[in-house]
Structure 1
Amino acid sequence: MSNTALESNASYETRPRKATKQRAFVIFVCVWVILIAAGITGAKLYSDHVQQQIAADVGRQTAAQIADMQKQNQEQLTKLESSYKDELAQLESKVEALNELLTFTKDNADVKTDNSNKLYSQLNEVKKKLNELQKNLDVLK
């Protein structure tokens, strides 16, 4: 009887050790699964945070570049407008000088001559250029 009693005791002792080992293995696997899940979650949160920071930085840089470009464009438009105004003023003075010359030649000539025809054609060309510049100035505004 002692043999059977020893055998039953031996089998009884091995079962709890197997169950304890299995529980320890399950707990070990669960801890690893939790650690892996926590690592994946942390990586996802960190990548989202970095992505938001990069998007904000790009937005700020883009806004600064747009503001700079707008400033440069405004300066260029101002320069163009002032140059067109100067050219218009010069053309107007030329037109007035031609008108005075034409009036003078008209007063001095009894009959139409080739010179007055040339002056009229020059006057018309200057007026056309003046109108073109005026249109360009209006487009710029």
Structure 2
Amino acid sequence: MQPLAESTPIHSRSTAARSRSSVKWFLLFWILMIGLGFYAVYSYTNHLKEQVLSELGTQSQQQLTVLKTDYESRIDVISQQVKDLQNTVQTFNELLTFTKDNANNKTDNSNKLYTQLNEVRKQLAALQKEMDLLK
């Protein structure tokens, strides 16, 4: 039995060496798998991050375009209103000037012309009456 006793320690040494190398390979395999998992998660999050940033950029560009067109249309409306107000103010200034000239003792050429036109109308009316009487 002695030969069996001698073979048992050699056999147990080779089995222990094999089990140690199997454990090393097993641990190495799992460490590699965990590392690949972390790399895959990191790559996927970067991809999602780039995709979200791209979509946000597109959306903000569209919103800026809408705001720009709205702003320009409002500016056009306001500028038209300002022009209308300027015309109204100019008309009121002309009326104020005319009223001021009429209230003043001194008359300018436009008031003289207006007065002359009124006198011509009166004379025409008088001539018309005389012609009617002559008929």
Cα-Cα RMSD: 1.6
SS at 1:91 equivalent:
helix
For residue 4 of structure 1, what is the amino acid of its counterpart?
Q
2-structure distance, mates of 1:8, 1:42: 51
| Length, aligned pairs only | 107
Residue 22 of structure 2 is matched in structure 1 by 24
Residue 46 of structure 1 is matched in structure 2 by 44
* Length-normalised TM-score, structure 1: 0.71
1-structure distance, mates of 2:54, 2:102: 71
For residue 21 of structure 1, what is the amino acid of its counterpart?
S
2-structure distance, mates of 1:31, 1:66: 52
For residue 11 of structure 1, what is the amino acid of its counterpart?
P
1-structure distance, mates of 2:99, 2:10: 132
Q: Could you list the per-position Cα deviations for residues 66-114 of structure 1 after superposition, in whole angstroms to 9, with x for gaps in the alignment?
A: 11111111111111111111011011001101212222232579xxxxx
For residue 47 of structure 2, what is the amino acid of its counterpart?
H
SS at 2:104 equivalent:
helix
Query: Which residue of 69, 81, 84 maps to 1:83?
Result: 81
Give unmatched runs, 5+ long, in structure 2: 108-135
Runs in 1 of length 4+ with deviation above 6 angstroms?
none
Residue 119 of structure 2 is matched in structure 1 by none
Residue 58 of structure 1 is matched in structure 2 by 56
1-structure distance, mates of 2:105, 2:82: 34
Residue 139 of structure 1 is matched in structure 2 by none
After TM superposition, list the pairs within 5 Å mapping 1:1-141 onto structure 2: 3-107=1-105
The percentage of counterpart residues that share the same residue type is 16
Q: Which has the larger radius of gyration?
A: 2
Residue 130 of structure 2 is matched in structure 1 by none
For residue 56 of structure 2, what is the amino acid of its counterpart?
V
